[in-house]
Amino acid sequence: MRPRTAVAALGLSAAALVGLVLHEGYSDRAIIPVKGDVPTLGFGSTTRADGSPVRLGDTTTPPQALARALRDVQQFEGALKACVTVPLAQHEYDAYVSFAYNVGPRAFCQSTLVKKLNTQDYPGACQELLRWRFFQGKDCALPTNARLCGGLVTRREAEYRQCMGEAAP
């Protein structure tokens, strides 16, 4: 068992940042990553540096996109630190930041995952990651929905393994 530390003392590891941006993928032009989603830019950012929404036609460079992803990560780390009240191991923290980056801070903080986590049901909280495999009401684990969902199921499985301490992202 890896040691757990107060959430306030943790920060996203470099390996987890690399995993996060690999999951997100890079685009130098604003795109709609999957039909029905909002425009994203760089490594999945949905807002510009000034806080306004990304719009189709926006562009970025790899250094700008990485800087934006780092700012975005800080926002999601802040949400995690605001709603998680129990200590975490580094691998758990990294998995939850990646998850929050993908679903948003509000969805993360209001989730059953956080409720389980805050009762120290660590395995149950990790297991909750696998439940977040739906997009537009469609189960992304079904082969017929794979194209609609991009790599969502693969990402959740990687986050789960990381959360359980089995593998890096």
Per-residue pLDDT tens over the stretch 126-166? 999 999 999 888 899 999 888 888 788 999 999 999 999 99
In terms of C-beta density within 10 A (0-12 exposed, 13-18 middle, 19 or more buried), how is residue 3 classed? exposed
Is residue 57 over pLDDT 80? Answer: yes
Is residue 1 over pLDDT 70? Answer: no
Three state DSSP letters for 18-78: HHHHHHHCCEEEEECCCCCCCCEEECCECECCCCCECCCCCECCHHHHHHHHHHHHHHHHH
What is the pLDDT averaged over residues 51-79? Answer: 92
pLDDT above 90 as % of the chain: 62
pLDDT at residue 66 in the model: 92
For residues 82 and 162, what is the distance between their CA atoms, to the nearest angstrom?
A: 22
Q: Interior CA angle at 165 toward 162 and 169, to 5°?
A: 25
Structural domains present in the chain: 10-163 (1.10.530.40)
Per-residue pLDDT tens over the stretch 11-25? 999 889 898 888 888
For residues 30 and 41, what is the distance between their CA atoms, to the nearest angstrom?
A: 4
For residues 134 and 128, what is the distance between their CA atoms, to the nearest angstrom?
A: 13
Q: Which residues pair with 139 in a beta bridge?
A: 134
Is residue 169 over pLDDT 90? Answer: no
Is residue 168 over pLDDT 60? Answer: no
Q: Are strands 134-135 and 138-139 parallel, antiparallel or unpaired?
A: antiparallel
Are 119 and 38 contacting, i.e. CB atoms less than 8 angstroms apart?
no
The answer to which of 40-44, 52-56, 70-74 has the lowest mean pLDDT is 70-74
pLDDT at residue 37 in the model: 83
Is residue 117 over pLDDT 60? Answer: yes
Helix, strand, or coil (residue 138): strand
What count of other Cβ atoms lies within 10 Å of the Cβ of residue 14? 9
Residues 6+ apart with CB under 8 A from 40: 24, 27, 30, 31, 32, 33, 46, 54
Is residue 104 over pLDDT 80? Answer: yes
The pTM for the full model equals 0.86
For residues 113 and 158, what is the distance between their CA atoms, to the nearest angstrom?
A: 16
What is the pLDDT averaged over residues 32-51? Answer: 88
pLDDT at residue 42 in the model: 95
